[in-house]
Every structure is written in structure tokens, then in C-alpha cells.
């Protein structure tokens, strides 16, 4: 889930008074990085073909493993394998591992946060674990108290929540027992929290961007011990983007955008590799990348899009911007990169296909409604759902061809995922498994 800021005149006044980045970025703050020999002792995380282990899927690109043929159309009775009621409210995308679905949710009235587990075959709820109680924090009405997508390494599920004045990371085993829980630090909420954790080697990494004393912290997945922690810039408006780790320009890079810059860090140490000015102050979308380039789109006060070469060091603003687009880009939905084309579904439903390397517009289209979820590529089609719960399916390629529309009559903000030829979709009140009956 990614969502839109609603800004008041008072907030804009704060921006005008405080513009700029007040803290040194990338400096080792509270915890200097430990030597890799002391923390990198776990086997690599190896998701199976039927797994969607974290935000944006196994390769951080929102592309489902091939081959599979999910359905193109459905309604309340057609192509619904199962549906389950979801207690409480949340906007997170499901995390799937080994036939189990992990889904955070929150009971706003009781001020309780939970992690739910469902059987992917039939939708049976296997367990429900309460993680926090009391101390709910300020939110934008379009956010929720359970907006972060969990990450799973096959042994544990890692779920961040903001509550009781701070940000917490909880590790649960696959049976729902809490293995460890750590308060990562204070959190001053303006519009809430939405960033999802990322796993790298033996680490679980969480970005805590907020109004004062922002940071990134990397913890050992098994013990919860802090391996490194660095400063991030403070945010006058807040930012909600999730980090990703990609192999770009021959090195592993932890990529995150906002405020006013795109940042690349060494994921093993937290050391800053490079920064690039733009695309905007406040960001919600996750960056996309390939082996050479990085694409970033944000958000407020201007909605811009940047393409950056990923082989730089230091400030690369004057040397490594390949192309940029200004105004009327996406803010909340993330981009989708596939086969040399970059697909953008903007918040108001404008769809654009760019040549990824040049920024040339290949085609433009229009979908109905407002969008906060991101597009996903599965079975040779692109799926994206609007806030009213209408799923649109269109073909990738050099012409815009809308294939299908399906309406489950229940809105939502979560991005769909695709595993094993099925679409898993969280709506406001339910969780659906959509597929073609055998």
C-alpha cells in the first residue's frame, strides 16, 4: 500500500520555513557497522516459485514468477477460489511463504495490532497473534495502523508497526509465536507509517523516516541485535516509501527516495554510496532498478520522475541523471519495469508507457478512479486495482490494450499479488483468492 498526503496551509508554512535537509545523511549515528564476519552467519533467503515473500515480490519488481496463468476476470461468484473475512483494518499487501499467507491488521477501536495467518489453499485462518495494544498514533485518513507489508525468510515473519510513540519491529515464527520484538526508536507521526522492511543476507532493514531524528536500522534476523544504524534527513512533510535492495552497476545497493533526493547505501554497512537531487520533497512510491539504472517518482509539492545511472559516488546530480519528467507523474503507486518499458499508473488513473532508457513516451491511456495500489505483472498481463475495488487488466507492450475490468464491490488500498496462477487481493473487509477452477 502507498497513499496520498493531504496537506494543510500550516504544513506548507512549515515547509517554507524549514526547507532543506537539517541533518548529516548517512553518518554512522548510534551504532557503527559491525564486521560482516560477526553478523553474516545465516543462509541466503531462497523463496520458492509459489512465494511472494515481501513487498514487490521475490525480485523487488512486482513481477510474478513464470509460468502461470491467473484469471483475467471475476465477480462475486466467478473465479473466486475462496474468500475470508479480515478483522480490523489494514492496507498492507499479503506476504506468502510455503503455502501460508501473513497479513497485518489493526482494530482501531480496541487499539490492537495483529498478524494473521491463512492457509493459501482454502483461506482457513491458522492463527492470529496480537503484537501491540494501546498507544495508537496520528494517521492520515487514507492510511491505516497496519500498512506495512511483512517480510519472510522462511523461518520468521518480520512486521513493523508504529505505536506508543515509537516504531517497533516484531519477528514471529511461522506458527505465530513472537521470537523477538524491538523498539527501534522514537517516531513522530504526521500521517502515519507505510514503509515495509527489506531482507539482505542476515539482516532485516527498516527505514524510519519521520519528522525528527529519522534513521535506518539493520538488525540480525535471528537475534534482533542491531548491526548498524545511520541518520536520515528529517522530514517536514513525512515520507512513506519502502526501500529495496538491488544489484546495480556491479554492487548491491539499498535504494530509497525522499526528501528531495534519491539515496543509495551499502546494505551491509549503511555507508552512503551516492545521492541525486529530486524527484520531490515527499515520496510514497518505491524506486525501480535494473543492472544499470534507477527510476524514482515522487510526489509533493511537484510530481516528478527521474532516471539515474547507478554507478556513481557522492552527489551525482550533475553527472548521472539520464532523463527526467516534470509534473503529472505518479505519487503513490510505484512504477513497473518490464522488458525495457516503464509503466506508470498515476494516482488519477493516467497510464503511461515510457522507453525505460530514454524516457520517450510510447503510449498513454486512462483508467477510471483513484489509485493508491501499484501495478503487478503476471501471466503476460498487468493488473492494477483502484480505490473502489475495480481491477483493471491490460497488456504490456507498445500499444495500450485494456483486456478486462472486474469489480468485487469492496474498495481498498492494497496491491494485489500473484502466486501459482492465483491472484491474492486484500479489500477493505475481505481477503480474496482468485483463480480459474480446475
Q: Give me the DSSP letters along 175-190.
A: TS-EEEEEEEEE---S
Burial of residue 252 (number of CB atoms within 10 Å: 0-12, 13-18, 19+): middle
Burial of residue 73 (number of CB atoms within 10 Å: 0-12, 13-18, 19+): middle
Burial of residue 246 (number of CB atoms within 10 Å: 0-12, 13-18, 19+): buried
Q: In order of start, what are the domains of the chain with their CATH numbers?
A: 9-434 (2.130.10.10)
Q: Quick one: pLDDT at residue 13? A: 32
The three grid cell numbers given for residue 205, joined into one nine-digit string: 532493514
User: What whole-number percentage of the chain has pLDDT above 70?
Assistant: 92
pLDDT-wise least confident of 156-160, 185-189, 234-238: 234-238
Separation CA 409–CA 76 (nearest Å) = 8
Q: State yes or no: pLDDT of 126 exceeds 70.
A: yes
Q: Quick one: pLDDT at residue 140? A: 80
Q: Quick one: pLDDT at residue 227? A: 96
Q: State yes or no: pLDDT of 399 exceeds 70.
A: yes
The answer to whether the Cα torsion of 428, 98, 375, 2 is positive or negative is: positive
- Residue indicated by cell numbers 515522487: 298
Give the N- to C-terminal CA distance of the chain in Å, as an integer: 31
User: Which CB contacts under 8 angstroms, 24+ apart, belong to 408-412?
Assistant: 408/74, 408/75, 408/76, 408/432, 409/76, 411/387, 412/91, 412/373, 412/385, 412/387
Q: State yes or no: pLDDT of 367 exceeds 80.
A: yes
Q: Quick one: pLDDT at residue 20? A: 33
SS3 assignment, position 411 = coil
Average pLDDT over residues 356-381: 97
All residues at 6 or more sequence positions from 232 whose CB lies less than 8 Å from its CB, including other chains: 23, 25, 207, 208, 209, 214, 215, 216
Q: Is the pTM of this model over 0.85?
A: yes
Q: State yes or no: pLDDT of 26 exceeds 70.
A: no
Neighbours of 124 (CB within 10 A): 11
Q: Quick one: pLDDT at residue 67? A: 81
Residue 177, phi-psi category: left (phi > 0), alpha (psi -120 to 50), beta (remainder): beta
Q: Quick one: pLDDT at residue 377? A: 97
Q: 274 forms bridges with which residues in the sheet? A: 264, 314
Q: State yes or no: pLDDT of 23 exceeds 50.
A: no
- Across the beta sheet with 226-231, what order do the strands follow? 28-31, 226-231, 215-220, 203-208, 198-200
* Beta strand extents in 134-277 (DSSP E only): 151-152, 156-163, 166-173, 178-186, 198-200, 203-208, 215-220, 226-231, 244-248, 251-257, 261-265, 272-277
All residues at 6 or more sequence positions from 251 whose CB lies less than 8 Å from its CB, including other chains: 266, 273
Q: Quick one: pLDDT at residue 238? A: 67
Separation CA 86–CA 98 (nearest Å) = 21
Q: What is the pLDDT of residues 276-301, one digit of tens each?
A: 999 988 889 999 999 999 999 998 88
Separation CA 295–CA 280 (nearest Å) = 13
- Residue indicated by cell numbers 516528478: 304
Q: What is the pLDDT of residues 213-269, one digit of tens each?
A: 899 999 999 999 999 999 998 777 767 899 999 999 999 999 999 889 999 999 999
Q: What's the chain's average pLDDT?
A: 90
Q: State yes or no: pLDDT of 59 exceeds 80.
A: yes
Q: State yes or no: pLDDT of 136 exceeds 50.
A: yes
The three grid cell numbers given for residue 74, joined into one nine-digit string: 471475476
Q: What is the pLDDT of residues 65-119, one digit of tens each?
A: 988 899 999 998 899 999 999 999 999 999 999 999 999 999 999 999 999 999 9
Residue 33 binned pLDDT confidence (cut-offs 50, 70, 90):
confident
Q: Quick one: pLDDT at residue 257? A: 93
Q: State yes or no: pLDDT of 19 exceeds 50.
A: no
Separation CA 436–CA 163 (nearest Å) = 40
Q: Do 367 and 349 contact (CB within 8 A), yes or no? A: yes
Q: Quick one: pLDDT at residue 30? A: 53
Q: Quick one: pLDDT at residue 380? A: 96
Q: CA 320, 322, 326: angle at the middle one, nearest 5?
A: 115
Separation CA 374–CA 337 (nearest Å) = 12
Q: Quick one: pLDDT at residue 240? A: 86
Separation CA 208–CA 214 (nearest Å) = 6
Residue 210 binned pLDDT confidence (cut-offs 50, 70, 90):
confident
Residue 4 binned pLDDT confidence (cut-offs 50, 70, 90):
very low
Of 161 and 5, more confident? 161
Q: State yes or no: pLDDT of 334 exceeds 90.
A: yes
Name the residue among 275, 245, 246 with its Cα closest to residue 259: 275
Q: Do 388 and 377 contact (CB within 8 A), yes or no? A: no
Average pLDDT over residues 175-196: 92
Separation CA 116–CA 104 (nearest Å) = 6
Amino acid at each position: 500500500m502507498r497513499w496520498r498526503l493531504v496537506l494543510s496551509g500550516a504544513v506548507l508554512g512549515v515547509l517554507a520555513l524549514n526547507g532543506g535537509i537539517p541533518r548529516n545523511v548517512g553518518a554512522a549515528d548510534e551504532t557503527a557497522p559491525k564486521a560482516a564476519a560477526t553478523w553474516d552467519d545465516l543462509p541466503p533467503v531462497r523463496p520458492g516459485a509459489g512465494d511472494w515473500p515481501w513487498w514487490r515480490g521475490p525480485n523487488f519488481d512486482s513481477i510474478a514468477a513464470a509460468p502461470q496463468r491467473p484469471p483475467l476476470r471475476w465477480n462475486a461468484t466467478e473465479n473466486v477460489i475462496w474468500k475470508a473475512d479480515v478483522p480490523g483494518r489494514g492496507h498492507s499487501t499479503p506476504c506468502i511463504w510455503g503455502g501460508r499467507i501473513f497479513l497485518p491488521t489493526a482494530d482501531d477501536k480496541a487499539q490492537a495490532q495483529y498478524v494473521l495467518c491463512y492457509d493459501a489453499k482454502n483461506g482457513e485462518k491458522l492463527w492470529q497473534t496480537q503484537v501491540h495494544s494501546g498507544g495508537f498514533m496520528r494517521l492520515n485518513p487514507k492510511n491505516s495502523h497496519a500498512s506495512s507489508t511483512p517480510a519472510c525468510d522462511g523461518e520468521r515473519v518480520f512486521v513493523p508497526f508504529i505505536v506508543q510513540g515509537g516504531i517497533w519491529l516484531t519477528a514471529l515464527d511461522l506458527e505465530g509465536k513472537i521470537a523477538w520484538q524491538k523498539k527501534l526508536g522514537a517516531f513522530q507521526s504526521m500521517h502515519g507509517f507505510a514503509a515495509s522492511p527489506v531482507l539482505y543476507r542476515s539482516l532485516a532493514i527498516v527505514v524510519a523516516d519521520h519528522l525528527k531524528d529519522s534513521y535506518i536500522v539493520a538488525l540480525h534476523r535471528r537475534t534482533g541485535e542491531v548491526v548498524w544504524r545511520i541518520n536520515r534527513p528529517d522530514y517536514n512533510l513525512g515520507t512513506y516509501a519502502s526501500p529495496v535492495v538491488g544489484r546495480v552497476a556491479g554492487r548491491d545497493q539499498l535504494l530509497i527516495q525522499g526528501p528531495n533526493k534519491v539515496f543509495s547505501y551499502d546494505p551491509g554497512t549503511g555507508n552512503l554510496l551516492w545521492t541525486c537531487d529530486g524527484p520531490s520533497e515527499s515520496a510514497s512510491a518505491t524506486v525501480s532498478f535494473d543492472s544499470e539504472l534507477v527510476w524514482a517518482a515522487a510526489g509533493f509539492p511537484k510530481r516528478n520522475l527521474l532516471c539515474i545511472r547507478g554507478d556513481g559516488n557522492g552527489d551525482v546530480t550533475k553527472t548521472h541523471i539520464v532523463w527526467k519528467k516534470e509534473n503529472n507523474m505518479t505519487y503513490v503507486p510505484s512504477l513497473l519495469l518490464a522488458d525495457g518499458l516503464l509503466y506508470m499508473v498515476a494516482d488519477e488513473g493516467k497510464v503511461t508507457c515510457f522507453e525505460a532508457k530514454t524516457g520517450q513516451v510510447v503510449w498513454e491511456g486512462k483508467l477510471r478512479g483513484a489509485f493508491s495500489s501499484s501495478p503487478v505483472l503476471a501471466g503476460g498481463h498487468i493488473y492494477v486495482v483502484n480505490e473502489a475495488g475495480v481491477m483493471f487488466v491490460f497488456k504490456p507492450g507498445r500499444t495500450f490494450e485494456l483486456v478486462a475490468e472486474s469489480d468485487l464491490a469492496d474498495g481498498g488500498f492494497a496491491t494485489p499479488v500473484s502466486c501459482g496462477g492465483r491472484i491474492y487481493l486484500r479489500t477493505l473487509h475481505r481477503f480474496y483468492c482468485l483463480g480459474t477452477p480446475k
